Copies of this chain bind each other. A is one copy, B any other.
Amino acid sequence: MRDAYHEELDSIGDGLVDMARLVGSAIGRATTAILDADLKLAESVIAADEKVDDLQRDLEARAIALLARQQPVATDLRIVVTSLRMSADLERSGDLAQHVAKLARLRFPETAVPHDLHATILEMGQLAQRLMAKAAEVIITKDVDLALQLEHDDDAMDLLHRTLFQHLMDDRWKHGIETAVDVTLLGRYYERFADHAVSVAKRVVYLVTGEHADEIAPQDAVDAVEGA
């Protein structure tokens, strides 16, 4: 049987999983909203971010109360401090999903995404959602291999981002400046969302191994793509 202390620690972990699931759902729905120019869906994503913010505030309050009451040391202390950081990553991911939804709302009844980029944005949105689903799974399972896999998935996001830029820089771009600006921002939102999901997974690696993920997964693969 677990004592009240460890139950509280577990419940902080549960809160992180709830946040990850909410923001994963949000980025998926925001992507649908922007591709379909669905105002109602966009509005629902924008409104739902409040729930993420509430969860974060609640989680932080509980983490700080736990620090004050239980004064954990060593591993437990590391878990609480790292949870605070993960909740910040997840809260920020929620903001980014909301930014996508706000862009959908701003351009309604038009869509911000031209037809020839529909597939790329859809892929970015789906990948972002999968990355966050995996991050949630990593929080639950503490599976270091799965966590390291997220970095590989993030390479795919970088490639999609690069594809987006190639379209933008192509002399045949015919969608004008406003759409170029929208697509640039969208690309940035998805890329940052993915970064936060990877960051959450890396923090779990740190908790499990005591080492930062960068020290485990060689950065060569990532660097090769970044330099491309």
A residues adjacent to B (C-beta < 8 A) = 64, 67-68, 71, 73-74, 77-78, 81, 84-85, 88, 165, 168-169, 173, 177-178, 180-181, 184-185, 188
Cα–Cα, bound, A173→B184 (Å): 17
Q: Determine the main DSSP class of A at the interface with B.
A: helix
Q: Which residue of B lies closest to A60 (CB)?
A: B81
CB contacts (< 8 Å) of A74 on chain B: these are 68
Cα–Cα, bound, A88→B67 (Å): 20
How many Å from the CB of A66 to the closest CB on chain B?
Answer: 11
How many Å from the CB of A170 to the closest CB on chain B?
Answer: 9
State how many copies of this chain the complex holds. 2
Cα–Cα, bound, A103→B73 (Å): 43
CB contacts (< 8 Å) of A177 on chain B: these are 168-169, 173, 177, 180
Cα–Cα, bound, A175→B228 (Å): 25
CB contacts (< 8 Å) of A180 on chain B: these are 177, 180-181, 184
Given A177-B177, A180-B177, do A81 and B78 touch, yes or no (CB 8 Å)?
no
CB contacts (< 8 Å) of A78 on chain B: these are 64
CB contacts (< 8 Å) of A169 on chain B: these are 177-178, 181
Cα–Cα, bound, A67→B85 (Å): 16
CB contacts (< 8 Å) of A85 on chain B: these are 84, 88
Cα–Cα, bound, A177→B180 (Å): 7
Q: Which of A169, A177, A178, A181 has the most CB of B within 10 A?
A: A177
Cα–Cα, bound, A60→B188 (Å): 28
CB contacts (< 8 Å) of A184 on chain B: these are 180-181, 184-185
A68-B73, A173-B177, A180-B184 known, 17 other contacts, Cβ within 8 Å: A64-B77, A64-B81, A81-B84, A84-B84, A84-B85, A85-B88, A88-B88, A168-B177, A168-B178, A168-B181, A177-B177, A180-B180, A180-B181, A181-B184, A184-B185, A185-B188, A188-B188
Residues B67 and A77 in contact, CB atoms below 8 Å apart: yes
